[in-house]
Structure 1
Amino acid sequence: MKILVGSDLGYQVNGPATLILNVQPAETPRQRILRETLTITPEGTRTEHWTVPATGNRYLRVHAQAGTSLHIHHEAEVELDAHVADPGEVTQLAPAELPPEVLPHLWPSRFCESDRLERLALREFCDAPPGHARVTAVCNWVHDRITYLRGASSPTTTATDTLLSGAGVCRDFAHLSVALCRALGIPTRFVSAHAPGLVPPDFHAVFEAFLGGKWWLFDATRQASPDVLVRIGQGRDAAEAAFAEIHGAATPTTMSIRAEVLEGPDVGRGLRTTQAVADVAEAP
Protein backbone atom coordinates (compact mmCIF):
# COMPACT_ATOMS: atom_id res chain seq x y z
CA MET A 1 0.00 0.00 0.00
CA LYS A 2 1.37 3.43 -0.95
CA ILE A 3 0.23 6.66 0.69
CA LEU A 4 1.15 10.26 -0.05
CA VAL A 5 1.28 12.51 3.02
CA GLY A 6 2.32 16.09 3.56
CA SER A 7 1.94 19.30 5.49
CA ASP A 8 2.41 23.03 5.00
CA LEU A 9 2.92 25.02 8.19
CA GLY A 10 3.26 28.78 8.42
CA TYR A 11 4.39 30.94 11.37
CA GLN A 12 4.85 34.67 11.90
CA VAL A 13 7.97 35.18 13.97
CA ASN A 14 7.96 38.40 16.02
CA GLY A 15 10.98 37.59 18.13
CA PRO A 16 13.71 34.95 18.29
CA ALA A 17 11.98 31.57 18.41
CA THR A 18 12.74 27.87 18.39
CA LEU A 19 10.21 25.38 17.02
CA ILE A 20 10.44 21.64 17.67
CA LEU A 21 8.34 19.75 15.13
CA ASN A 22 7.36 16.08 14.91
CA VAL A 23 5.53 15.99 11.57
CA GLN A 24 7.61 13.57 9.47
CA PRO A 25 6.54 9.90 9.23
CA ALA A 26 8.54 7.41 11.24
CA GLU A 27 10.52 4.86 9.25
CA THR A 28 10.17 1.32 10.57
CA PRO A 29 10.19 -2.25 9.23
CA ARG A 30 6.50 -1.94 8.29
CA GLN A 31 6.48 1.70 7.23
CA ARG A 32 9.03 2.59 4.57
CA ILE A 33 9.61 6.07 3.17
CA LEU A 34 9.99 5.83 -0.61
CA ARG A 35 10.69 9.52 -1.18
CA GLU A 36 10.57 12.66 0.93
CA THR A 37 11.05 16.41 0.57
CA LEU A 38 11.40 19.06 3.27
CA THR A 39 11.66 22.75 2.36
CA ILE A 40 12.01 25.60 4.84
CA THR A 41 11.80 29.28 3.96
CA PRO A 42 13.44 31.72 4.37
CA GLU A 43 16.45 29.90 2.95
CA GLY A 44 19.33 29.69 5.35
CA THR A 45 17.13 29.14 8.41
CA ARG A 46 19.16 27.07 10.86
CA THR A 47 17.75 23.58 11.49
CA GLU A 48 18.65 20.36 13.27
CA HIS A 49 17.29 16.82 12.73
CA TRP A 50 17.32 13.78 14.99
CA THR A 51 15.49 10.51 15.63
CA VAL A 52 14.78 9.02 19.06
CA PRO A 53 15.85 5.35 18.83
CA ALA A 54 13.41 4.12 21.49
CA THR A 55 10.33 5.45 19.68
CA GLY A 56 11.33 6.17 16.09
CA ASN A 57 9.99 9.72 16.47
CA ARG A 58 11.73 12.11 14.06
CA TYR A 59 12.24 15.69 15.23
CA LEU A 60 13.05 18.90 13.40
CA ARG A 61 14.31 21.90 15.38
CA VAL A 62 14.00 25.25 13.62
CA HIS A 63 15.75 28.40 14.86
CA ALA A 64 13.75 31.34 13.46
CA GLN A 65 14.77 34.98 13.43
CA ALA A 66 12.56 37.90 14.46
CA GLY A 67 10.55 39.56 11.71
CA THR A 68 10.37 36.54 9.39
CA SER A 69 7.46 34.65 7.90
CA LEU A 70 8.46 31.02 8.38
CA HIS A 71 7.09 28.32 6.08
CA ILE A 72 7.71 24.58 6.37
CA HIS A 73 6.71 22.29 3.50
CA HIS A 74 6.91 18.52 3.88
CA GLU A 75 5.83 15.71 1.57
CA ALA A 76 6.51 11.97 1.62
CA GLU A 77 5.43 8.85 -0.22
CA VAL A 78 5.14 6.00 2.26
CA GLU A 79 4.76 2.25 1.75
CA LEU A 80 2.78 0.38 4.43
CA ASP A 81 2.72 -3.33 5.17
CA ALA A 82 -0.14 -3.72 7.65
CA HIS A 83 -0.41 -6.87 9.76
CA VAL A 84 -4.09 -7.83 9.90
CA ALA A 85 -5.64 -10.51 12.11
CA ASP A 86 -8.93 -11.85 13.39
CA PRO A 87 -9.80 -9.79 16.52
CA GLY A 88 -11.02 -12.93 18.26
CA GLU A 89 -7.47 -14.30 18.20
CA VAL A 90 -5.90 -11.24 19.88
CA THR A 91 -5.56 -12.07 23.55
CA GLN A 92 -4.64 -10.06 26.64
CA LEU A 93 -1.52 -10.72 28.70
CA ALA A 94 -1.55 -10.69 32.49
CA PRO A 95 0.72 -8.06 34.10
CA ALA A 96 3.13 -10.82 35.17
CA GLU A 97 3.60 -11.79 31.50
CA LEU A 98 4.24 -8.31 30.11
CA PRO A 99 7.72 -7.44 28.79
CA PRO A 100 9.47 -4.91 31.06
CA GLU A 101 9.74 -2.35 28.25
CA VAL A 102 5.95 -1.94 27.99
CA LEU A 103 5.30 -1.53 31.72
CA PRO A 104 5.62 2.30 31.63
CA HIS A 105 2.53 2.29 29.41
CA LEU A 106 0.52 0.96 32.35
CA TRP A 107 1.29 4.01 34.49
CA PRO A 108 -0.72 7.22 34.79
CA SER A 109 0.68 10.14 32.79
CA ARG A 110 0.15 13.89 32.49
CA PHE A 111 -2.96 13.67 30.32
CA CYS A 112 -4.08 10.10 31.07
CA GLU A 113 -4.89 9.84 34.80
CA SER A 114 -5.68 6.13 34.77
CA ASP A 115 -5.37 5.92 38.57
CA ARG A 116 -8.46 8.15 38.87
CA LEU A 117 -10.55 6.01 36.50
CA GLU A 118 -9.96 2.49 37.81
CA ARG A 119 -13.34 2.03 39.50
CA LEU A 120 -15.18 3.37 36.45
CA ALA A 121 -13.21 1.13 34.08
CA LEU A 122 -13.76 -2.01 36.14
CA ARG A 123 -17.46 -1.30 36.48
CA GLU A 124 -18.04 -0.59 32.79
CA PHE A 125 -15.78 -3.18 31.14
CA CYS A 126 -15.37 -6.11 33.54
CA ASP A 127 -17.89 -8.16 31.55
CA ALA A 128 -16.23 -7.53 28.18
CA PRO A 129 -14.05 -10.46 27.01
CA PRO A 130 -10.36 -9.74 27.64
CA GLY A 131 -8.19 -8.90 24.67
CA HIS A 132 -9.09 -7.02 21.50
CA ALA A 133 -12.81 -7.17 22.35
CA ARG A 134 -12.27 -5.35 25.65
CA VAL A 135 -10.33 -2.52 24.04
CA THR A 136 -12.99 -2.31 21.32
CA ALA A 137 -15.59 -2.00 24.09
CA VAL A 138 -13.61 0.94 25.48
CA CYS A 139 -13.56 2.56 22.03
CA ASN A 140 -17.30 2.06 21.61
CA TRP A 141 -17.99 3.49 25.08
CA VAL A 142 -15.87 6.61 24.44
CA HIS A 143 -17.34 7.07 20.97
CA ASP A 144 -20.92 6.85 22.27
CA ARG A 145 -20.43 9.18 25.25
CA ILE A 146 -18.06 11.86 23.98
CA THR A 147 -19.18 14.34 21.33
CA TYR A 148 -16.58 15.22 18.71
CA LEU A 149 -16.55 19.01 18.91
CA ARG A 150 -13.80 21.33 17.70
CA GLY A 151 -12.93 23.99 20.24
CA ALA A 152 -14.32 21.99 23.16
CA SER A 153 -10.88 21.37 24.65
CA SER A 154 -7.47 22.99 25.02
CA PRO A 155 -3.84 21.80 25.04
CA THR A 156 -4.14 21.25 28.81
CA THR A 157 -7.31 19.11 28.70
CA THR A 158 -6.87 15.73 30.38
CA ALA A 159 -8.76 12.45 30.11
CA THR A 160 -10.83 13.21 33.21
CA ASP A 161 -11.59 16.70 31.87
CA THR A 162 -12.93 15.12 28.69
CA LEU A 163 -14.99 12.63 30.68
CA LEU A 164 -16.59 15.44 32.69
CA SER A 165 -17.21 17.79 29.76
CA GLY A 166 -18.48 15.08 27.41
CA ALA A 167 -16.81 16.63 24.34
CA GLY A 168 -13.43 16.86 22.66
CA VAL A 169 -11.36 16.19 19.56
CA CYS A 170 -9.27 13.21 18.45
CA ARG A 171 -6.53 13.97 20.99
CA ASP A 172 -9.12 13.84 23.80
CA PHE A 173 -10.74 10.64 22.53
CA ALA A 174 -7.30 9.01 22.48
CA HIS A 175 -6.35 10.23 25.96
CA LEU A 176 -9.58 9.00 27.55
CA SER A 177 -9.28 5.61 25.81
CA VAL A 178 -5.64 5.26 26.90
CA ALA A 179 -6.52 6.09 30.51
CA LEU A 180 -9.38 3.58 30.65
CA CYS A 181 -7.29 0.80 29.09
CA ARG A 182 -4.42 1.40 31.52
CA ALA A 183 -6.92 1.27 34.38
CA LEU A 184 -7.85 -2.21 33.09
CA GLY A 185 -4.22 -3.37 33.16
CA ILE A 186 -3.66 -3.03 29.41
CA PRO A 187 -0.47 -1.18 28.32
CA THR A 188 -1.56 1.61 25.99
CA ARG A 189 0.16 4.46 24.17
CA PHE A 190 -0.77 7.61 22.26
CA VAL A 191 -0.03 7.74 18.51
CA SER A 192 0.01 10.74 16.18
CA ALA A 193 -0.62 9.98 12.53
CA HIS A 194 -1.65 10.98 9.04
CA ALA A 195 -5.10 9.57 8.25
CA PRO A 196 -6.30 9.26 4.63
CA GLY A 197 -10.02 9.93 4.37
CA LEU A 198 -10.14 12.22 7.40
CA VAL A 199 -12.59 15.11 6.88
CA PRO A 200 -11.40 17.80 7.07
CA PRO A 201 -7.76 16.75 6.51
CA ASP A 202 -5.70 17.23 9.66
CA PHE A 203 -3.12 15.55 11.84
CA HIS A 204 -4.87 12.73 13.70
CA ALA A 205 -4.53 11.14 17.13
CA VAL A 206 -5.23 7.45 17.81
CA PHE A 207 -3.83 4.88 20.25
CA GLU A 208 -2.30 1.43 20.50
CA ALA A 209 -2.91 -1.33 23.04
CA PHE A 210 -0.33 -4.04 23.76
CA LEU A 211 -2.13 -7.37 23.38
CA GLY A 212 -0.71 -10.83 22.76
CA GLY A 213 2.81 -9.51 22.31
CA LYS A 214 1.99 -6.85 19.68
CA TRP A 215 0.82 -3.24 19.57
CA TRP A 216 -2.66 -3.01 18.00
CA LEU A 217 -4.11 0.22 16.58
CA PHE A 218 -7.47 1.69 17.61
CA ASP A 219 -9.36 4.90 16.79
CA ALA A 220 -12.15 5.77 19.21
CA THR A 221 -13.35 8.62 16.95
CA ARG A 222 -14.16 6.05 14.22
CA GLN A 223 -12.94 8.60 11.67
CA ALA A 224 -10.00 6.65 10.26
CA SER A 225 -9.25 3.08 9.19
CA PRO A 226 -6.29 1.74 11.20
CA ASP A 227 -4.79 -0.12 8.24
CA VAL A 228 -4.08 3.11 6.31
CA LEU A 229 -2.71 5.20 9.19
CA VAL A 230 0.79 6.60 8.66
CA ARG A 231 2.53 6.84 12.02
CA ILE A 232 4.29 10.08 12.89
CA GLY A 233 5.00 9.86 16.62
CA GLN A 234 4.19 7.90 19.74
CA GLY A 235 4.41 8.40 23.48
CA ARG A 236 2.68 7.90 26.79
CA ASP A 237 0.39 10.81 25.87
CA ALA A 238 0.35 13.90 23.64
CA ALA A 239 3.06 15.57 25.72
CA GLU A 240 5.51 13.04 24.25
CA ALA A 241 4.13 13.11 20.69
CA ALA A 242 3.22 16.75 20.05
CA PHE A 243 3.22 17.91 16.43
CA ALA A 244 4.80 21.22 17.40
CA GLU A 245 6.37 22.96 20.38
CA ILE A 246 6.94 26.71 20.11
CA HIS A 247 9.52 28.41 22.30
CA GLY A 248 9.55 32.15 21.77
CA ALA A 249 7.49 34.68 19.83
CA ALA A 250 6.14 32.66 16.91
CA THR A 251 2.44 32.53 16.02
CA PRO A 252 0.87 29.88 13.75
CA THR A 253 -0.67 31.47 10.64
CA THR A 254 -1.47 28.61 8.24
CA MET A 255 -1.75 24.83 8.31
CA SER A 256 -2.60 22.50 5.46
CA ILE A 257 -2.48 18.70 5.81
CA ARG A 258 -2.90 16.01 3.16
CA ALA A 259 -3.01 12.21 3.13
CA GLU A 260 -3.99 10.23 0.05
CA VAL A 261 -3.91 6.52 -0.76
CA LEU A 262 -2.04 6.07 -4.05
CA GLU A 263 -2.18 2.27 -4.17
CA GLY A 264 -4.41 0.25 -1.84
CA PRO A 265 -7.95 0.12 -0.44
CA ASP A 266 -10.53 2.79 -1.22
CA VAL A 267 -10.96 4.58 2.13
CA GLY A 268 -14.14 6.14 0.80
CA ARG A 269 -15.92 2.80 1.15
CA GLY A 270 -16.02 3.12 4.92
CA LEU A 271 -14.02 2.09 7.94
CA ARG A 272 -12.68 -1.41 8.30
CA THR A 273 -13.50 -2.01 11.96
CA THR A 274 -14.06 -5.78 11.82
CA GLN A 275 -10.36 -6.56 11.63
CA ALA A 276 -7.47 -6.15 14.05
CA VAL A 277 -4.53 -4.14 12.73
CA ALA A 278 -1.12 -4.44 14.36
CA ASP A 279 2.30 -3.06 13.61
CA VAL A 280 1.16 -0.83 10.78
CA ALA A 281 4.41 0.88 11.60
CA GLU A 282 6.15 -1.62 13.83
CA ALA A 283 8.07 0.11 16.59
CA PRO A 284 9.76 -0.86 19.87
Structure 2
Amino acid sequence: MLRYIMRFRVSSDLHYDLNGPATFFFALKCIETGGQHLVSESLITEPETSVEEFTLGTGMNRFTRIRTEQNGPFRVKYSAEVETQVKVISTESLKVDGPGKLAPEAIPFLFPSRYCQSDRLRQEAMDLFGHLTNPHDLAAGIRDWIYDHIAYRAGTSNEQSSAVDTWEQRQGVCRDFAHLGIAFCRAMNVPARYVSCYSYQLDPPDFHACYEVFIDGWWYIFDATRLAPLNGLVRIATGRDAADAAVCSIFGNPQMKQISVSCECLDEGFMPITGRDLANENQAMALL
Protein backbone atom coordinates (compact mmCIF):
# COMPACT_ATOMS: atom_id res chain seq x y z
CA MET A 1 0.00 0.00 0.00
CA LEU A 2 1.20 3.50 -0.89
CA ARG A 3 0.14 6.78 0.74
CA TYR A 4 0.46 10.22 -0.78
CA ILE A 5 0.13 13.52 1.12
CA MET A 6 -0.61 16.71 -0.83
CA ARG A 7 -1.60 20.29 -0.13
CA PHE A 8 -4.08 22.38 -2.12
CA ARG A 9 -5.51 25.88 -2.10
CA VAL A 10 -9.18 25.95 -3.11
CA SER A 11 -11.65 28.78 -3.60
CA SER A 12 -15.17 29.45 -4.81
CA ASP A 13 -16.69 32.83 -5.57
CA LEU A 14 -20.44 33.08 -6.21
CA HIS A 15 -22.26 36.23 -7.32
CA TYR A 16 -26.04 36.67 -7.10
CA ASP A 17 -28.59 39.36 -7.80
CA LEU A 18 -31.12 39.46 -4.96
CA ASN A 19 -34.78 40.21 -5.55
CA GLY A 20 -36.18 40.15 -2.03
CA PRO A 21 -35.70 37.86 0.99
CA ALA A 22 -33.76 34.66 0.39
CA THR A 23 -32.18 31.80 2.32
CA PHE A 24 -29.14 29.91 1.05
CA PHE A 25 -27.82 26.54 2.21
CA PHE A 26 -24.24 26.23 0.93
CA ALA A 27 -21.93 23.21 0.96
CA LEU A 28 -18.74 25.04 0.00
CA LYS A 29 -16.53 24.27 2.99
CA CYS A 30 -14.13 21.33 2.87
CA ILE A 31 -14.65 18.69 5.53
CA GLU A 32 -12.20 17.17 7.99
CA THR A 33 -11.59 13.42 7.67
CA GLY A 34 -8.93 11.02 8.89
CA GLY A 35 -6.72 12.08 6.00
CA GLN A 36 -8.02 15.53 4.99
CA HIS A 37 -7.15 18.45 7.25
CA LEU A 38 -7.90 22.15 7.02
CA VAL A 39 -4.82 24.30 7.42
CA SER A 40 -6.80 27.53 7.11
CA GLU A 41 -10.07 28.79 5.65
CA SER A 42 -12.31 31.82 5.36
CA LEU A 43 -15.83 32.60 4.17
CA ILE A 44 -16.95 36.16 3.54
CA THR A 45 -20.11 37.74 2.20
CA GLU A 46 -20.56 41.09 0.46
CA PRO A 47 -22.47 42.87 1.83
CA GLU A 48 -21.68 41.39 5.23
CA THR A 49 -24.49 39.33 6.71
CA SER A 50 -24.99 36.72 9.43
CA VAL A 51 -23.63 33.24 8.67
CA GLU A 52 -24.62 30.05 10.49
CA GLU A 53 -22.68 26.80 10.18
CA PHE A 54 -24.11 23.36 10.97
CA THR A 55 -23.68 19.68 10.13
CA LEU A 56 -26.18 17.06 8.96
CA GLY A 57 -26.32 13.33 8.44
CA THR A 58 -23.10 11.65 9.52
CA GLY A 59 -21.86 14.95 10.95
CA MET A 60 -19.09 15.18 8.35
CA ASN A 61 -20.74 17.52 5.87
CA ARG A 62 -20.52 21.20 6.75
CA PHE A 63 -23.34 23.48 5.65
CA THR A 64 -23.61 27.25 5.79
CA ARG A 65 -26.98 28.97 6.12
CA ILE A 66 -27.21 32.59 5.01
CA ARG A 67 -30.40 34.65 5.23
CA THR A 68 -30.71 37.93 3.37
CA GLU A 69 -33.40 40.59 3.22
CA GLN A 70 -31.89 43.15 0.86
CA ASN A 71 -32.08 43.60 -2.92
CA GLY A 72 -29.15 43.98 -5.26
CA PRO A 73 -25.75 42.28 -5.68
CA PHE A 74 -24.70 39.61 -3.20
CA ARG A 75 -21.43 37.69 -3.12
CA VAL A 76 -20.20 34.63 -1.20
CA LYS A 77 -16.50 33.81 -1.28
CA TYR A 78 -14.81 30.80 0.29
CA SER A 79 -11.12 29.93 0.34
CA ALA A 80 -9.09 27.28 2.14
CA GLU A 81 -5.73 25.60 2.30
CA VAL A 82 -6.19 21.85 2.71
CA GLU A 83 -3.88 18.89 3.26
CA THR A 84 -5.12 15.64 1.74
CA GLN A 85 -4.04 12.01 1.79
CA VAL A 86 -4.82 9.15 -0.55
CA LYS A 87 -3.90 5.49 -0.39
CA VAL A 88 -3.25 3.22 -3.35
CA ILE A 89 -3.67 -0.52 -2.87
CA SER A 90 -3.48 -3.62 -5.05
CA THR A 91 -6.91 -4.81 -6.12
CA GLU A 92 -5.74 -8.38 -5.56
CA SER A 93 -5.61 -7.71 -1.82
CA LEU A 94 -9.25 -6.59 -1.61
CA LYS A 95 -11.59 -9.10 -0.01
CA VAL A 96 -15.16 -9.61 -1.19
CA ASP A 97 -17.81 -8.91 1.45
CA GLY A 98 -21.49 -9.45 0.64
CA PRO A 99 -24.37 -7.54 2.27
CA GLY A 100 -24.38 -10.05 5.14
CA LYS A 101 -20.93 -8.93 6.29
CA LEU A 102 -21.09 -5.21 5.50
CA ALA A 103 -20.10 -2.64 8.09
CA PRO A 104 -23.28 -0.94 9.39
CA GLU A 105 -22.21 2.50 8.11
CA ALA A 106 -22.20 1.21 4.53
CA ILE A 107 -25.69 -0.34 4.59
CA PRO A 108 -27.68 2.89 3.85
CA PHE A 109 -25.74 3.19 0.59
CA LEU A 110 -27.16 -0.08 -0.73
CA PHE A 111 -30.65 1.35 -1.22
CA PRO A 112 -32.30 3.58 -3.85
CA SER A 113 -32.27 7.33 -3.26
CA ARG A 114 -33.79 10.45 -4.83
CA TYR A 115 -31.39 10.68 -7.78
CA CYS A 116 -30.09 7.10 -7.82
CA GLN A 117 -33.11 4.85 -8.47
CA SER A 118 -31.20 1.59 -8.41
CA ASP A 119 -34.42 -0.42 -8.17
CA ARG A 120 -35.53 0.92 -11.56
CA LEU A 121 -32.19 0.06 -13.18
CA ARG A 122 -31.68 -3.40 -11.70
CA GLN A 123 -32.42 -5.37 -14.86
CA GLU A 124 -30.30 -3.04 -17.00
CA ALA A 125 -27.42 -3.43 -14.54
CA MET A 126 -27.74 -7.22 -14.57
CA ASP A 127 -27.76 -7.30 -18.37
CA LEU A 128 -24.65 -5.11 -18.63
CA PHE A 129 -22.60 -6.14 -15.60
CA GLY A 130 -23.99 -9.44 -14.35
CA HIS A 131 -20.81 -11.24 -15.44
CA LEU A 132 -18.70 -9.15 -13.03
CA THR A 133 -18.75 -10.70 -9.57
CA ASN A 134 -15.82 -8.92 -7.92
CA PRO A 135 -16.95 -5.55 -6.46
CA HIS A 136 -13.92 -3.63 -7.71
CA ASP A 137 -14.17 -5.11 -11.20
CA LEU A 138 -17.86 -4.25 -11.17
CA ALA A 139 -17.29 -0.61 -10.13
CA ALA A 140 -14.51 -0.24 -12.71
CA GLY A 141 -16.64 -1.84 -15.42
CA ILE A 142 -19.49 0.55 -14.63
CA ARG A 143 -17.11 3.51 -14.72
CA ASP A 144 -15.75 2.50 -18.13
CA TRP A 145 -19.20 1.76 -19.58
CA ILE A 146 -20.47 5.21 -18.55
CA TYR A 147 -17.42 6.89 -20.07
CA ASP A 148 -17.90 4.99 -23.35
CA HIS A 149 -21.69 5.36 -23.66
CA ILE A 150 -22.73 8.60 -21.93
CA ALA A 151 -21.83 11.89 -23.63
CA TYR A 152 -20.45 14.63 -21.39
CA ARG A 153 -22.41 17.73 -22.42
CA ALA A 154 -22.79 20.85 -20.30
CA GLY A 155 -26.30 22.21 -20.01
CA THR A 156 -28.06 18.95 -20.86
CA SER A 157 -29.35 18.29 -17.32
CA ASN A 158 -30.63 20.20 -14.31
CA GLU A 159 -31.27 19.79 -10.58
CA GLN A 160 -34.17 17.44 -11.32
CA SER A 161 -32.18 15.04 -13.52
CA SER A 162 -31.69 11.56 -12.10
CA ALA A 163 -29.78 8.41 -12.97
CA VAL A 164 -32.78 7.11 -14.92
CA ASP A 165 -32.83 10.33 -16.99
CA THR A 166 -29.13 9.96 -17.73
CA TRP A 167 -29.62 6.33 -18.74
CA GLU A 168 -32.45 7.24 -21.09
CA GLN A 169 -30.91 10.40 -22.57
CA ARG A 170 -27.32 9.11 -22.73
CA GLN A 171 -25.84 12.50 -21.78
CA GLY A 172 -25.10 14.66 -18.76
CA VAL A 173 -22.38 16.23 -16.62
CA CYS A 174 -20.26 14.96 -13.73
CA ARG A 175 -23.20 14.94 -11.32
CA ASP A 176 -25.17 12.72 -13.72
CA PHE A 177 -22.22 10.41 -14.37
CA ALA A 178 -21.82 9.93 -10.61
CA HIS A 179 -25.53 9.28 -10.07
CA LEU A 180 -25.64 6.63 -12.79
CA GLY A 181 -22.51 4.94 -11.45
CA ILE A 182 -23.99 4.87 -7.95
CA ALA A 183 -27.33 3.50 -9.18
CA PHE A 184 -25.69 0.70 -11.15
CA CYS A 185 -23.45 -0.29 -8.22
CA ARG A 186 -26.37 -0.38 -5.78
CA ALA A 187 -28.44 -2.35 -8.28
CA MET A 188 -25.69 -4.98 -8.10
CA ASN A 189 -25.72 -4.98 -4.28
CA VAL A 190 -22.54 -2.94 -3.84
CA PRO A 191 -22.72 0.18 -1.59
CA ALA A 192 -21.92 3.41 -3.40
CA ARG A 193 -22.06 7.08 -2.41
CA TYR A 194 -21.79 10.55 -3.96
CA VAL A 195 -18.81 12.86 -3.46
CA SER A 196 -18.68 16.58 -4.26
CA CYS A 197 -15.22 18.10 -4.45
CA TYR A 198 -12.82 20.72 -5.64
CA SER A 199 -10.66 19.21 -8.35
CA TYR A 200 -7.12 20.06 -9.41
CA GLN A 201 -6.54 20.23 -13.20
CA LEU A 202 -10.26 20.07 -13.98
CA ASP A 203 -10.84 21.97 -17.23
CA PRO A 204 -12.80 24.17 -17.19
CA PRO A 205 -12.51 24.74 -13.41
CA ASP A 206 -15.76 24.02 -11.57
CA PHE A 207 -17.18 21.98 -8.73
CA HIS A 208 -16.82 18.28 -9.47
CA ALA A 209 -18.65 15.07 -8.55
CA CYS A 210 -17.45 11.46 -8.35
CA TYR A 211 -18.60 8.31 -6.60
CA GLU A 212 -17.10 5.98 -4.00
CA VAL A 213 -17.68 2.24 -3.63
CA PHE A 214 -17.38 0.35 -0.34
CA ILE A 215 -15.04 -2.62 -0.72
CA ASP A 216 -13.33 -4.62 2.03
CA GLY A 217 -14.08 -2.06 4.74
CA TRP A 218 -13.12 1.11 2.87
CA TRP A 219 -14.47 3.57 0.29
CA TYR A 220 -12.64 3.62 -3.08
CA ILE A 221 -12.99 6.49 -5.55
CA PHE A 222 -14.20 6.29 -9.17
CA ASP A 223 -14.73 9.04 -11.75
CA ALA A 224 -16.54 8.10 -14.95
CA THR A 225 -15.80 11.47 -16.57
CA ARG A 226 -11.99 11.00 -16.64
CA LEU A 227 -11.69 14.79 -16.48
CA ALA A 228 -9.25 15.13 -13.59
CA PRO A 229 -6.63 13.13 -11.63
CA LEU A 230 -8.05 11.20 -8.70
CA ASN A 231 -5.27 12.33 -6.36
CA GLY A 232 -6.21 15.96 -7.07
CA LEU A 233 -9.63 15.78 -5.38
CA VAL A 234 -10.43 17.82 -2.26
CA ARG A 235 -13.59 16.55 -0.58
CA ILE A 236 -16.43 18.98 0.15
CA ALA A 237 -19.30 16.66 1.03
CA THR A 238 -20.46 13.05 0.87
CA GLY A 239 -23.96 11.58 0.70
CA ARG A 240 -26.44 9.20 -0.86
CA ASP A 241 -26.65 11.52 -3.87
CA ALA A 242 -26.61 15.24 -4.70
CA ALA A 243 -29.62 15.82 -2.46
CA ASP A 244 -27.28 15.30 0.50
CA ALA A 245 -24.36 17.23 -0.93
CA ALA A 246 -25.68 20.01 -3.16
CA VAL A 247 -23.30 22.95 -3.43
CA CYS A 248 -26.21 25.35 -2.96
CA SER A 249 -29.92 25.09 -2.20
CA ILE A 250 -31.89 28.34 -2.44
CA PHE A 251 -35.20 29.42 -0.99
CA GLY A 252 -36.32 32.67 -2.60
CA ASN A 253 -35.73 34.18 -6.00
CA PRO A 254 -32.07 35.24 -6.35
CA GLN A 255 -30.45 35.05 -9.77
CA MET A 256 -27.02 33.51 -10.25
CA LYS A 257 -24.82 36.01 -12.11
CA GLN A 258 -21.33 34.51 -11.96
CA ILE A 259 -19.41 31.59 -10.46
CA SER A 260 -15.68 31.03 -10.17
CA VAL A 261 -14.02 27.90 -8.74
CA SER A 262 -10.33 27.08 -8.43
CA CYS A 263 -8.07 24.38 -7.03
CA GLU A 264 -4.31 24.93 -6.94
CA CYS A 265 -1.72 22.35 -5.91
CA LEU A 266 0.89 23.81 -3.54
CA ASP A 267 3.33 20.91 -3.95
CA GLU A 268 5.96 20.96 -6.66
CA GLY A 269 6.25 17.88 -8.80
CA PHE A 270 2.62 16.78 -8.54
CA MET A 271 2.23 13.48 -10.39
CA PRO A 272 -1.37 12.90 -11.51
CA ILE A 273 -2.90 9.47 -10.93
CA THR A 274 -5.87 8.64 -13.15
CA GLY A 275 -8.31 5.78 -13.33
CA ARG A 276 -6.42 4.46 -16.34
CA ASP A 277 -3.16 4.48 -14.39
CA LEU A 278 -4.78 2.48 -11.61
CA ALA A 279 -6.34 0.01 -14.06
CA ASN A 280 -2.99 -0.58 -15.76
CA GLU A 281 -1.37 -1.41 -12.41
CA ASN A 282 -4.34 -3.36 -10.98
CA GLN A 283 -4.70 -0.81 -8.20
CA ALA A 284 -7.48 1.05 -6.40
CA MET A 285 -7.39 4.47 -4.73
CA ALA A 286 -9.13 5.80 -1.63
CA LEU A 287 -9.40 9.37 -0.37
CA LEU A 288 -8.43 9.20 3.31
**Common fold by TM > 0.5:** yes
Is 2:197 the partner of 1:193? yes
Could you tell me the TM-score, scaled by structure 1's length? 0.94
Which deviations, in whole Å up to 9, do the C-alpha atoms of 1:183-231 show, x marking residues without a partner?
A: 0100001110011010000000101100000011110111122222111
- Given candidates 277, 280, 283, the residue that maps to 2:285 is 277
Please list, as runs of the form range in 1=range in 2, the aligned pairs for 1:92-107 lying within 5 A after superposition.
Answer: 92-107=96-111
The answer for the alignment partner of 1:217 in structure 2 is 221
Q: Where does residue 90 of structure 1 map in the other structure?
A: 94
Please tell me whether residue 172 in structure 1 is matched to residue 176 in structure 2.
yes
- Structure 2 partner of 1:80: 84
Residue matched to 1:120: 124
Identify if the C-alpha distance between structure 1 residues 59 and 235 changes in structure 2 by more than 3 Å, giving closer, same or farther: same
* Cα distance between partner residues in 2 of 1:53 and 1:156: 22
TM-score (norm 2): 0.92
Question: For residues 53 and 116 of structure 1, do their structure 2 counterparts lie closer, same or farther at Cα, with a shift above 3 Å needed?
Answer: closer
Q: Give 1:120 shift.
A: 1.4
Give the superposition deviation at 1:269: 8.2
Contact 1:197 1:268 in 2 (8 A): no
- CA distance change for structure 1 residues 222 and 92 in 2, over 3 Å: closer, same or farther? farther
Residue 59 of structure 1 is matched in structure 2 by: 63
Change (3 A) 1:277 1:55: farther
Q: 2:274 & 2:235 partners in 1: Cα distance?
A: 20
**1:29 equivalenced with 2:34 (yes/no):** yes
Q: Which residue of 1 aligns with 2:3?
A: none
Give the distance between the partners of 1:35 and 1:264, measured in 2 at CA: 20
Query: Which residue number in structure 2 is paired with residue 208 of structure 1?
Result: 212
Find the aligned partners of 2:192 and 2:250 in 1 and give their Cα distance.
Answer: 27
CA distance in 2, matches of 1:255, 1:42: 17
* Structure 2 counterpart SS, 1:143: helix
Distance in 1 (CA, whole Å) between partners of 2:152 and 2:270 is 24
Letter in 1 for 2:47: P
Q: Read off the aligned partner of 1:165 and give its amino acid letter.
A: Q
Aligned mates of 2:154, 2:249 — CA distance in 1: 20
Deviations 1:8-64 (A, max 9, x none): 011111100000000111111200011112111112x12101233614111111111
Gaps of 5+ in 2: 1-5
- Partner secondary structure for residue 190 of structure 1: strand
Identical pairs, percent:
39
How many residues are paired up? 279
